[in-house]
Each structure stands twice: as C-alpha cells, then as structure tokens.
Structure 1
C-alpha cells in the first residue's frame, strides 16, 4: 500500500472515530474534508501520464537530433 493510501485509511478511521454514531461533533466535517483532500491528491497523482520512449530518450540525450525543438 502506498503512503497516500495509508494516510487516507488513517484519516478515514479518524473521521469515523470523531463523527461517532450521530455525526453531530463540529469536527466531523473537517475530518471528512481531510479524507476528501487526500483522495483528490491521489486522483491527481494517477492522472500524470507516463513518458513515452521518445520522451525518455530525450531526457537521457537532450542533444540528439530527434530531440531538437525549433522555435517558429
């Protein structure tokens, strides 16, 4: 399990503990907001696309002809 997954699980457990059965504690909403923020961060991290083979090659060989960028 990744670090962010562990944090989400910890915050989720904390929110359940803080909210109790009736959920009337004022801290309840803040606890669930923390869970939501971590879930949004995880979703954002999953959206980053992996580099293709040309991008990896250009990272390793920035002076190669294939990697030149021309301004117009």
Structure 2
C-alpha cells in the first residue's frame, strides 16, 4: 500500500527555508517534512531508531572493551 498523500499550503518564507534545506542536505522535500512532522509529533522514524541502536551498541562495545582491559590487567 502506498503512503498517503498530504498537500499543504505554506508561507513563502517557510518554503524558502525548506528549499534551502533541500539544497544543503540533498534530501527530498518529503523526507524533510516527514522528519519535521515526526519530531513535532514525537514519533521516531526508522532512521532515528537505527541511529539510536547504533549509538547504544557503540556504548556497549566500549564498555565491554574497558571491562576486558580491566580483567586482563
């Protein structure tokens, strides 16, 4: 099932800021709006969930390395 379509009218200054973000990041307008709406509504995107998991995994790996080093010494 395709994602639902949402059309909205926005003020010119918001459109200019959106287009500047598109230019600087290379992201699509849809991706930027989805990220902004997700953040506003407090809903984590799949990308955000993956980043959070990667951060947690890195932290655990570092702690494991520190513990291993302590045991060896």
Shared fold (TM-score greater than 0.5)? no
Which structure has greater helix proportion?
Answer: 2
Q: Radius of gyration: which is bigger?
A: 1
TM-score (norm 1): 0.36
Q: TM-score, normalised by structure 2?
A: 0.36
